[in-house]
Structure 1
Amino acid sequence: MKHWLKLFVILLPLGGLAGCGEDEKETMVRQAIAIESGAECHLCGMIISNFPGPKGQLYAKGTRGNMQFCSTRDLFAFIVDPENQQNIQEVYVHDMAVTPWDHPDDETYIDARQAFFVIGHRKKGAMGPTLASFSKQADAEAFADSEGGKVYRFEQITLDLLISMNNMMAE
Structure 2
Amino acid sequence: MYCTNQYLRLGFLILTTFLFAACGNNGEQADAKPQPVHFASGDECHVCGMVIEGFPGPKGEAITGKDQRVRKFCSTRDMFAWMLQPENVNRAHTLYVHDMAQTDWQSPDDAALINAREAFYVVDSERDGAMGPTLASFAEQAAAEVFRKKYGGQVLSYGEVTLEHINTEMPKGDMHDMGDMDASAMEQ
TM-aligned CA distance change 1:24 to 1:44, over 3 Å? farther
**Structure 2 gaps, min length 5:** 1-17, 171-188
Count residues with an aligned counterpart.
Answer: 157
Work out the percentage of aligned pairs sharing the same amino acid: 43
Q: 1:166 — aligned with what?
A: 169
Deviation larger for 55-64 or 145-154: 55-64
- State the structure with bigger RCO (CA 8 A, min sep 6), 1 or 2: 1
Question: Which among 118, 125, 150 is matched to residue 121 of structure 1?
Answer: 125
Amino acid of the structure 2 residue aligned with 1:52: P
Structure 2 counterparts to residues 19-168 of structure 1, below 5 A: 24-163=28-167, 165-166=168-169
RMSD of aligned residue pairs (Cα, Å): 2.4
CA positional deviation for 1:31: 1.2
TM-score by length of 2: 0.74
Contact 2:34 2:68 in 1 (8 A): no
**Structure 1 gaps, min length 5:** 1-13
Structure 2 SS opposite 1:82:
coil
Structure 2 SS opposite 1:46:
coil
Contact 2:60 2:79 in 1 (8 A): yes
Amino acid of the structure 2 residue aligned with 1:98: Q
CA positional deviation for 1:63: 3.5
- CA distance in 1 between partners of 2:24 and 2:161 (Å): 34
Amino acid of the structure 2 residue aligned with 1:134: F
Larger radius of gyration: 2
TM-aligned CA distance change 1:17 to 1:83, over 3 Å? farther
CA positional deviation for 1:146: 0.5
